Structure 1
Amino acid sequence: MGVSHLLSDVIPPGACNLLNSSTIYANNEVNLAEVDIYGFDYDYTLALYSNALNTMIYNTARGFLIEHFKYPEGICKYDYIPNFAARGLHYDIQKGLLMKIDAFHYIQPGTVYRGLNPVPDEEVLQLYGGTYHVPLQQDSGFYGKVKGGPKVKQFMDIFSIPEMTLLAAANDFFITNDIEYDPVHLFKDVSVSEAIGMVHLKGYMYKWVMEDLDKFILRGEETDAVLHRLVSQGKKLFLITNSPFSFVDKGMTHMVGKNWRDFFDVVIVQADKPHFFTDCIKPFRRLDGNGDLRWERIQSLEKGQIYKQGNLFDFLRLTGWRGSKVLYFGDHLYSDLADLMLRHGWRTAAIVPELEQETKVVCTDRYALNLTWLQALTGLMERLQTHRDPESKQVFQEWQSEREELRVMTKNLFNPQFGSIFRTCHNPTYFSRRLCRFSDLYMTSLSCLLNYDLSYTFYPRRTPLQHEAPLWMDQLCTGCMKTPYLEEIQAESDI
């Protein structure tokens, strides 16, 4: 009670109300006055989907496992668990483990799951040869193909949440029923190349959404408002999506109206991203009014026409849209944003729907108190460790236990299994580091643009480096001297 009261005095008044999910966050300085061209992905960018879609994907893929791959019927008893998995997790294919990894390639203790159950930290260390580190060369991330296939797969797509949940459920079924199986076969059968892939390849997802647009598409009127605003201020717009035209047309008509194509200067469907950004060969093809492919060579990209496939190099050549006057919005950090930022100098904006829930948690008094005391306790421990007497050692151990409890409590506020998608105990997650690397801006949804003038400049805050010795929260409670006196250390070591 006493500690809580003191912490309440330390936290600035109204600090918990400073964040809201309508804010656009800047990793890099961006002046919208310099942006003339706005580009968009479609799924989870122009169109946001309800959680009901994840349930449908999971149920259908589970059915494929049983019907097509002859998996045991008992897997049907595992219903979709909406809040089990989180985006950005890694999956060890050979060990059948789902886990969260930080920006330094270390597994966060307490976030490793075999099936639906956590794996004790001691066992994790044993499985990984006495370390929590996962070598970079085993990862399937942005760094290209791994020889012999990846050993660890990262799930960066929002569509991958039902895939992770199905993997966990199927693993759990075999383990619980003591049935011998190969985790590598399971991963392949569940993955985007098989059961989950069949949901997309056979067009099930497109069919469900088109049959009930109101149920599956969220906040369409906000997308409409954003497009109207951009066009009314003379901005050029383009769309590059992997989805087919019939699906995009139905969704955009629902959100914006039957004349939605008038907003866009260029529309490209079935683009085959990320290959669209790296392939120099695949040509554009035009679709006629019925959606059928035309055969003529494309000499220009014309407003009102629909194009399929193509590649970014031809796109740049035909439009002349280059550099920081282009701002492209997408949800997938690798497929949508990485190449555009690293190779072509476009501005990029990541759509991160999870921000809505995460900022709600960060704005609670409970989170603020936990975090402030966690920082203060860390500072106290750092100071106390120079004292070697038995009483100090005992207090240090007690504080260490309390710090661990605080970490778990803080993690559980976001997701009891994996915590925040942005942070491990004290480091950014692997997902968070990639988000900072590949996006200039990030936000919950496109509608956040409605809160800003189109000449607005986003300024990233100077985040303190460790050696810049800012006034950390722990110093508010323990004094401004972060480093113990050298004499004090020497005196203790001489005892």
Structure 2
Amino acid sequence: MVNSHDSIFANTYVDLGNIDTIGFDYDYTLVHYTEELLTLLYEMALSRLVEDRHYPTEMMECGLQYDPYFSIRGLAVDKETGWICHLSYTHKVAVAWEGRKQVSTSRIFKEYKGKRGLTPSERKKRLKPLNDLFSMAECCLIADTIQFFNDNNIDYCPSNVVTDILGAIRDTHISGDFHRIVAGNPEKYFDPTPHLKTVLMNLKDSGKNLIFASNSPYWYVDAGMKYVLGDQWMDLWDVVIVSAGKPAFYTEIRRPFREVNTQTNRVRFQKVEKLEAGKVYTEGCLRELTRLMDWRGPLNTNTNVLYIGDSLFADLVDAKREFGWITAAVTPEVGFELDVQESDDHLLAEKTIALLLNTLRQVQSEMGTAKYTDDDSLVLDNLEKLVSKWRDRETNLLGNPFGSVFRARYQPSLFAHSLRRYCDLYMNSVGSLRHYSPQHRFYPEPDFRLLAHEIKRSTDAYCEIDPPEDILSDTED
């Protein structure tokens, strides 16, 4: 039996036997990085803030550094307040942090006009999703910068700070300096992937076409793939696409492919009429890929294609929504959170919350339908406060201020909702595929309310009662 770390979880029915083409993203999919990479990204972006945007030089001298225990994936930054927010599946703000201090419930309600969320149009203007694993450094730098300004009584505009940091992160990525440092030190920045070659060879031997599709330049992915697969890594692929420009790769309709000279890294100007193994291509679009790969049927019925990536909105949403591909997400958080959930402390918290919520139901049943007395309300208030404290205890076990990637307090998070909506499968790593036949059939669990890895756990503490929003956080006003 496959252990929980190596399990692949299904949101829908998927028959691998019917899939003839599998595409893979690169970053955090085929290769995984050490913590040193996010530290480097943080430091280089901080340096840009100080040197290019004239932020206080003291920020470089006071010991600011990336904190791996602060942020998680699936957060969002409110560009008007600078708050880092964890959103529920209904887009409500479950938890918010201003710098390194939690925002009180009263401030959240005041900022969002008596509720925990924004209208769809306001969300589009104000909230910037932080969905991929690179964004954890981005999130930490925003919080640290705002905390530095607050601690030193420096007047600042949160919107300007967020804009500057997003720009510094972007410039760090596109400058090439960051990628050159990583490519030049693979032992320091890349984690080993011992099962990757086995997985790819098994899929290849079963007759499936393998497509490599990355937003990174060839020289960068070549360094990483040589480190994890060896010098002949390209022999495994039917098509290699670099600098794809996702998600535009999915939305453009007339962008042709261009061939990359692997010796000089220059892009050829000749027209590409055929995609060949052993060659490298750049730019292009999905419509052109479909034409050159000679996939049959209309574009929105390519259900014989599986695409595996880590970034929901850069890799998977458009592939699923616009073209009907089967999609699989790499979510390394699953393995870590399952370990925590199996600990004695977490089981105790989970059972206690379920007991308290059941007590709340029974107490109200005994109270009947008459108007509650002050003492009745006090009993309920105190029980709800206990629930909140035990929820905090659960959160603390995960070792970060926001809690589970998949839960925003007691509700499914927006990340979990998107994962269920746009991904047919999800897994701890691509290496999980080594435990499954290329003809394996995945069946979803029958309970549609929860993600697959949560189904067999107690649901009382999560789904069967929705406490009032004003008692979901015990943050003092």
The match for 2:396 among 399, 409, 412 is: 412
2:65 paired residue among 79, 85, 95: 79
Structure 2 residue 311 is matched with structure 1 residue 311: no
> One-letter code of the match for 1:329?
I
User: Where does residue 221 of structure 1 map in the other structure?
Assistant: 194
Aligned to 1:156: 131
Q: 1:120 aligns with which of 84, 89, 104?
A: 104
From 65, 77, 85, give the equivalent of 1:99.
Answer: 85
Specify the alignment match of 1:451 in structure 2: 435
**SS in structure 2 at match of 1:344:** coil
DSSP-derived class of the 1:379 partner? helix
CA distance 1:474–1:351, change in 2 (3 Å): closer
Preserved contact between residue 357 and residue 460 of structure 2 (Cα < 8 Å): no
Question: Quick one: which amino acid aligns to residue 280 of structure 1?
Answer: I
Deviation of residue 410 (structure 1)? 1.0
Distance 1:213 1:125, change over 3 A: same
Tell me the secondary structure at the aligned position of residue 321 of structure 1.
coil
RMSD: 2.3
Q: Distance in 2 between matches of 1:471 and 1:334?
A: 29
2:150 corresponds to: 175
> Aligned-pair distance for 1:80?
1.7
The structure number with the bigger radius of gyration is: 1
CA distance in structure 2 between the aligned counterparts of 1:73 and 1:475, rounded to whole angstroms: 51
Q: Which amino acid aligns with 1:377?
A: L
AA at the equivalent of 1:334: F
The code of the aligned residue for 1:122 comes to: S
Q: In structure 2, what residue type is equivalent to 1:435?
A: L
Residue in 2 aligned with 1:241? 214
Aligned equivalents of 1:440 and 1:385: distance in 2? 41
Deviations along 1:238-282, one digit per CA (max 9) or x if unpaired, are: 111100011111111111122111111111110000000000121
Q: What amino acid is the match of 1:296?
A: Q
Shift of residue 390, structure 1, vs aligned partner: 6.0
Pairwise CA distance, 1:19 = 6.3
Q: Deviations 1:331-358 (Å, cap 9, x if unpaired)?
A: 1101100111111111100011222211
Match of 2:313 in 1: 334
Q: Could you state the TM-score of these two structures normalised by the residue count of structure 1?
A: 0.86
TM-score (norm 2): 0.89
User: For residues 354 and 201 of structure 2, what CA distance do their matches in structure 1 show?
Assistant: 45
Aligned to 1:274: 247
**Where does residue 40 of structure 2 map in the other structure?**
56
Quote the residue 1:352 is aligned against: 331
Per-residue Cα deviation, 1:75-105 (whole angstroms, up to 9, x for no partner): 2222221111111111111111111110001
Distance 1:228 1:96 in 2: 46
Count matched residues: 446
Of residues 213-222 and 441-450 in structure 1, the stretch that sits farther from structure 2 once superposed is 213-222
Q: What are the Cα deviations for residues 183-241 of structure 1, in whole angstroms up to 9, with x where unaligned?
A: 111111110xx211121111123112212112211133322221122112222101111
Aligned partners of 1:98 and 1:112 also within 8 Å: yes
User: Contact 1:372–1:474 at 8 Å: present in 2 too?
Assistant: no
Partner SS state of residue 350, structure 1: strand
Q: Is the 8 A contact 1:75 1:169 kept in 2?
A: no
* 1:385-424 alignment runs, 5 A limit: 385-386=364-365, 387=367, 388=372, 392-424=376-408
Q: 1:287 pairs with 251, 260, 268, which one? A: 260
Distance 1:123 1:84, change over 3 A: same
Question: How far does residue 474 in structure 1 lie from its aligned partner after superposition?
Answer: 8.0
Equivalent residues in 2 for 1:363-402 (5 A)? 363-386=342-365, 387=367, 388=372, 392-402=376-386
